[in-house]
Amino acid sequence: MNPIDVRALLLACLLLVVVPAGAALPIQVDDQPLPSLAPMLEKITPAVVNISTVSLVRTEDHPLLRDPVFRWFFELPRDTQRRRSQSLGSGVIVDAARGHVLTNHHVIEKADEIRVTTNDGRELKAELLGADPEIDIALLQIPAENLKAIPMADSSRLRVGDFVVAIGNPFGLNQTVTSGIVSALGRSGLGIEGYENFIQTDASINPGNSGGPLVNLRGELVGINTAILAPNGGNVGIGFAIPVNMAEAIKRQIVEHGGVLRGVFGATVQNLTPDLTGALNLAAGSRGAVVSGIESGSAAARAGLRAGDLIVRLNQQPIGNATDLNTALALLRVGEQITLDVLRDGQTRTLRAQIADPYAGFVDGKTISRQFRGARLGEVMDESSLGANPGIAVGPVIEDSNAWRSGLREGDVLFQVNRIRVRTLQALQDAARDGVSQIKLRRGSRLVTLVSR
């Protein structure tokens, strides 16, 4: 074969390779439509909403305005002035019949008024049904008229490399669509939320996208966009979304029980390291959460769990590391029965447990005083950097309740009420018999005094 024939043969081979690629992805319209996400987006964008909130913020222009005598002398209003603070975010309709909208908790946090604008331009007043700050999910309700919901996917089936689309309201720009892929799964340790198991994506997510949907190419909801990693304040291709399975679990608790009451298990776990793999005589490549400690009398202790056990499944779902287990437990409600598959001494064992109530024995604050209505209170021996002292622990506090307006927050420990030392619920009731004017409590590592106005 002469050189000319060789060149001709190579050219023919190249044409055979190039032509099919061109036919699979046409560069001209002709008789075939170009690939487009438009048909899918036309179906789901009616389920995406814009969320605006208004918060009334107290303002005091000068220190003298805080002096009641000064205000009386110059006949100034007793109430401090207020200004309206607005914020914008996104949301997604997940139940058209009930008017349920999922968004981030931080989008509506401290809002005095929440308004939802639908894709067809209607502006509706929304009611907050409940929220979980630890996972950063909130559930709103709007009038259920002519709404369209988005279908949900199973986010546990996502894979790195899957194509995804983010829709939202970045910088106040309505209905903006960006696309990308799933860059990573199970991201944690970012310090963004209490429980982290994020989907990472390079689809552009910017301020205002929070609470909006992350969808797959079938138009199914796979996540709720929640945060970006942006050293300079802009998008750098690293965004995070809460998996829809987590969001749906929180939504279900709010709908069924009016809120989220997270149970306790009583086991401390850590990731499996090469050193632990060898020390526990586990096979190379083993995955799971290693039990490093058990709280005495806890649900974990009653189930028979031991330090050194490797938890490999919870309710038949694989556990790859400590984050998987902690996230799964965080989605369970008080009283739920669970099964654990653990490896111990080379043998697989199945243990059963019941998620415990962290506030068992606490009472409704309204039985103590009307000013504590909306909080759960219980006797504790408080151990902190301030020492070990008996006091009254504050459990969950309903937002905008009497207890909330009095300044109480979950995790507080009360030591004095009306300058009287309180160690028991009975002592608290006696001290608050004629009302509550002053409370001294521990909040974190600080002592705080609350004074009623």
What are the residue numbers of the active site? 106, 136, 210
CA distance 42 to 25: 22
Give burial (CB, 10 Å; 0-12/13-18/19+) of 238.
Answer: middle
Close Cβ partners of 67 (under 8 Å, ≥ 6 residues apart): none
| Structure token pair of residue 32 | 């075939």
CA distance 91 to 224: 8
- How would DSSP label each residue in 34-56? PP-SHHHHHHHGGGEEEEEEEEE
| Structure token pair of residue 268 | 């401390």
CB 176 within 8 A of CB 198: no
φ/ψ region of 30 (left if φ > 0, alpha if ψ in -120 to 50, else beta) reads: left
Sign of CA dihedral 394, 395, 400, 403: negative
Q: Strand, coil or helix: what is 391?
A: strand
